[in-house]
Amino acid sequence: MNIEKKYLKWLNHPFMDEDLKQELENMDETQKKDAFYKDAEFGTAGMRNILGAGTNRLNVYTVRKATVGFGNFLNRKEGEVSIAIAYDNRYKSTEFAMESARIMASLGIKSYVYKTLRTTPQLSFTVRHLNCDGGIMITASHNPKEYNGYKVYDKNGCQLIPELIEGVIEEIGKLGGDFIEAPKLTDQQEKLINFVGKEVDEAYLNEVLKIQLNPDLSKDDFKVVYTPQHGTSLKPVKALFEKVGYDTVYVEEQCTFDPAFSNTLVPNPEDPDAYILGIEYARKTNADIVLATDPDGDRLGVAVKDGNDYTLMTGNQTGSVLIEYILSQMQQKGIMPENPVMFNTVVTSDLGEIIAKEYGVETEKTLTGFKYIGDKIEGYRISKEKNFVFGYEESYGYLVKEFVRDKDA
């Protein structure tokens, strides 16, 4: 089908969403071509695309189609199936999350949905904590405001590895057509949609608190500036810092859950422009460190006081500092496990590996993508051949404990 025919099919569809219909009516030829020249791709990280009308966009129809495919993939398992669903602060995130829950209910799958936004690592934790068979996270991570995305997780709270993604793509391919209509749920199906309570928040926070190696260390002379970049990490980070007693200054302009990311040039802690306001706050308050997380709370960036100014650390540097601290403390306290292993990716620098070797910790390299690290962790959990002590990648993603299987800021 050519682009014009696809366009007219969408424009004249009897159940077309009104906002999308208006967008279609206002499209010029260039916009039509970009919106319809291909289907939105479901790749190794799920879907991530510009929001809008068309087959090459993220919208309620492409989300429904992906969800039916993922649901049918999960239903290959015999017996009851359940899924956890969370979402970040982006445009349409809440709508896509609830639409996913309704589609899953129509397929007989129980869902556990958050009523308000949560981080990606908490979604990973929730899958594991509630013994779900999979998870959906509606997020486009640190991409610009025009984007949203759809990430899928396995029963271990790990993003699907390629072999599993192929199964989802196969199921999506069986559907045909562009439109999955909104399901009309029976009363019994409606009961399959459950909302997650505060007890999961508390369970996650308690696990995070256990990470501390020196909880009684004085924090009186250490000041932190923190920015969530308008994203999901504000609440969990604030709760955590209040519990542990850090003197924290919050970048107020970036603490609103704003899908337009109005007060940051770029919501990506890998980019120096994300720290402009944070460093201004740090200079005014003489802070020791600036911490920045991306909108879905899985990446962490650090700027440290360096003389009279602040220097942004790379992901490789931050990972290496964490490795030195964690492994040195484990060794001093006599809590280093037998056969310890650390994971990083093939594009990560060798510095962390050199440090780990000094503490008798083996390093294993994986392909790029934290799903491969999560998969390695699960493999050794089952085989018990080695014990995980740390995982990281150069793109500002780190994991200290295995109660989460994705990077966790």
The token pair that represents 93 in the structure block: 């995130």
Q: Are residues 265 and 170 in the same domain?
A: no
Cα-Cα-Cα-Cα torsion 278, 280, 285, 290, nearest 10 degrees, comes to: 30
The token pair that represents 243 in the structure block: 């519990």
Residue 116 in any domain: the answer is yes
- Strands 193-195, 110-113: parallel, antiparallel or unpaired by DSSP? parallel
Tell me how far apart the alpha carbons of residues 6 and 19 are, in angstroms, rounded to a whole number: 18
Q: Are residues 95 and 186 in the same domain?
A: yes
189 membership: H or E segment, kind and range? helix 187-190
Residue 404 in any domain: the answer is no
Residue 141 in any domain: the answer is yes
Domain boundary among 139, 169, 196: 196
Tell me how far apart the alpha carbons of residues 214 and 212 are, in angstroms, rounded to a whole number: 6
Residue 269 in any domain: the answer is yes
Residue 409 in any domain: the answer is no
How many domains does the structure of the chain reveal?
Answer: 3
Triad 74, 75, 79: Cα angle to 5°? 115
Q: Are residues 71 and 215 in the same domain?
A: no
Residue 378 in any domain: the answer is yes
CATH of the domain at 386: 3.40.120.10
Q: Are residues 334 and 357 in the same domain?
A: yes
Residues paired with 58 in a beta bridge: 51
3-class state of residue 147 by DSSP:
strand
Per the document, the length of the chain is: 409
Domain extent, residue 290, equals: 205-314
Domain boundary among 248, 282, 314: 314
Catalytic residues, which ones?
141
Q: Are residues 360 and 225 in the same domain?
A: no
Residue 281 in any domain: the answer is yes
Measured CA to CA in angstroms, residue 299 lies from 122, 213, 285, 322, 398 at distances of 13, 21, 25, 14, 8
Residues paired with 224 in a beta bridge: 248, 289
Task: Render each residue's pLDDT in the chain as its tens digit; 409 residues.
Answer: 699 999 999 999 998 999 999 999 999 999 999 999 998 888 777 899 999 999 999 999 999 999 999 999 999 999 999 999 999 999 999 999 999 999 999 999 999 999 999 999 999 999 999 999 999 999 999 999 999 999 999 999 999 999 999 999 999 999 988 898 899 999 999 999 999 989 999 999 999 999 999 999 988 899 999 999 999 999 999 999 999 999 999 999 999 999 999 999 999 999 999 999 999 999 999 999 999 999 999 999 999 999 999 999 999 999 999 999 999 999 999 999 999 999 999 999 999 999 999 999 999 999 999 999 999 999 999 999 999 999 999 999 999 999 999 999 9
Q: Are residues 282 and 368 in the same domain?
A: no
Q: Are residues 189 and 233 in the same domain?
A: no
